[in-house]
Amino acid sequence: MITGALHLDLDRDRPVALHRQIETAIRDAIRSGRLPLGAALPSTRTLSADLGVSRGTVVEAYQQLTAEGYLSSRGGGYTYVAAGARPPRPTPRPAPPSRPRIDFGYGRADVSSFPRAAWLRSVRRVLNDAPGDRLGYLNGRGSPELRDALSGYLNRVRGTDIDPDHMVICSGFAQGVSLVLHAAAARGARRLAVEDPTSQDAVQVARALGLQVVGIPVGEDGADVAALAASDADVVVLTPSHQWPLGAVLPPESRAAVIEWAVRRGALVVEDDYDAEYRYDRAPIGAMQGLAPDHVVHAGSVSKTLAPGLRLGWLAVPHDLADAVADAKILADRGSSSIEQLALADFLERGELDRHLRRMRPVYRRRRDVLLAALRERLPDLEPTGVSAGIHLVAWLPPDLDEESVIAAARARGVGIAGLRPHRMSPAGRDALIFGYSSIGERAIAEGVALVAEAIADVRGR
């Protein structure tokens, strides 16, 4: 192996001769494995020119290291790392965490059903057809093709009122909510309200930005709007179509009250529309953004429809916030991958997302039905809630069980499951388990519930 440029730090202010500094640096590089056995060093002429030292200085260093057995000269005029040098000690890699055999993890589409062939067709079309300028930097809003395709799709399917010029393509909801909060904080927002319980994305970003965070209790009808009105918040993040994680739907009168509050206070509502594509036993509910596009940010991503690994999401923001959010996107990462954006645009335009969802809805519905039946049979004292939509459900635990013990006992039996506590804003509240059912087959769901039942028997038997 021929080594190209060799980076060595020389400090001309140190009272150490330059040939000694070169020796030490090469010796260290060999010991650490940065220069592997058999690697050829640059010629003395090249290295002396690179380092701005006399050739004699490099020759002296090479000779010393050859005498010590670190280097050897062979035919062809090259100097090599000699076989006698100490090989780098392999650093032991930490063992990967063992994965549960049956995983009720939540928050993702079934990636084993990702429509690879259709996505590949879209990527191929993009690579064949996209004009060269689409592969350069895009502006902070993202690809116009994707914003057109998405606004058309969302206005049709979610009842939104989205102008593609007011959209920003981002790396999923996680980045989207961060961009909005940065823009809102720059505009003077001081206090964020979130549902309690909630996913922690917005909470963590807001705290890092120095915003106060207040939890709004969630009941059977979603977030408590009176508590929101009393919260003194400037921004609220809501999941009105399917409260995360409890599954309630915010009724029309509460939606109207939230919008009235936002208009009165000049506050911003962020609507996390994370899994609206899946509903089983209830009427469709349009997005809130359609009621007040100047006060509601609509945020979504493909994490629950296609795959979270695509890291593709979007924001539709009020017109007076669009530039600030687009600037925040540029500052964050100069824009999401243009090829992926164009591929999603093509995928949407060709109706592939509609097709994929038509295929997946009955699959998820059957998994949910199997889960509910298994819970009824094996764990009748757990109370499922939020079951009529989405790809997870919450099951309340009876008062004699605490979720941490059940989760640990389930884990010991090879089942991964999450609890509600990490998502609570207030310490008090009933314990519960979150069953994600998107990514496990029906048989494994039934087996997983049986194992959770055994885990609960273990906990009760202690």
Neighbouring-strand partners of residue 128: none
Of 51 and 213, CB closest to ligand PLP? 213
Question: Of 101, 186, 438, whose CA–CA distance to 303 is shortest?
Answer: 438
Residue 227 CA to residue 229 CA, distance in Å, equals: 5
Q: How far is the CB of 71 from ligand PLP (least distance, A)?
A: 51
Of 286 and 436, CB closest to ligand PLP? 436
Residue 106 CA to residue 435 CA, distance in Å, equals: 7
Of 172 and 318, CB closest to ligand PLP? 172
Q: How far is the CB of 459 from ligand PLP (least distance, A)?
A: 27
Of 18 and 348, CB closest to ligand PLP? 348
Binding positions for ligand PLP, rule: CB under 6 A = 107, 172-174, 199, 239, 244, 272, 274, 301, 303, 308, 313
Q: How far is the CB of 177 from ligand PLP (least distance, A)?
A: 8
Of 27 and 356, CB closest to ligand PLP? 356
Residue 454 CA to residue 448 CA, distance in Å, equals: 10
Question: Of 14, 98, 60, 105, whose CA–CA distance to 433 is shortest?
Answer: 105
Q: What is the largest CA-CA distance in the chain?
A: 86
Of 254 and 301, CB closest to ligand PLP? 301
For β-strands 79-81 and 40-41, DSSP reports them as antiparallel
Residue 390 CA to residue 284 CA, distance in Å, equals: 12
Q: How far is the CB of 169 from ligand PLP (least distance, A)?
A: 12
Q: How far is the CB of 386 from ligand PLP (least distance, A)?
A: 12
Residue 316 CA to residue 30 CA, distance in Å, equals: 54
Q: Is the dihedral of CA 323, 324, 327, 333 positive or negative?
A: negative
Q: How far is the CB of 72 from ligand PLP (least distance, A)?
A: 54
Of 61 and 228, CB closest to ligand PLP? 228
- Helices 44-51 and 55-68, packing angle to 10 deg: 120
Q: How many angstroms separate the Cα of 232 from the Cα of each of 118, 186, 209, 235, 293?
A: 48, 18, 18, 9, 22
Cα angle 69, 70, 72; round to 5: 75
Q: How far is the CB of 187 from ligand PLP (least distance, A)?
A: 23
Q: How far is the CB of 172 from ligand PLP (least distance, A)?
A: 3
What radius of gyration do the chain's Cα atoms show?
A: 29
Structure tokens belonging to residue 59? 């020759």
Of 23 and 273, CB closest to ligand PLP? 273
Residue position matching structure tokens 């020119």: 49
Q: How far is the CB of 263 from ligand PLP (least distance, A)?
A: 25
Of 394 and 451, CB closest to ligand PLP? 394
Of 231 and 301, CB closest to ligand PLP? 301
Question: Of 176, 348, 373, 188, whose CA–CA distance to 267 is shortest?
Answer: 188
Q: How far is the CB of 287 from ligand PLP (least distance, A)?
A: 14
3-state secondary structure of 242: coil
Bond prior to 197 in cis (omega within 30° of 0):
yes
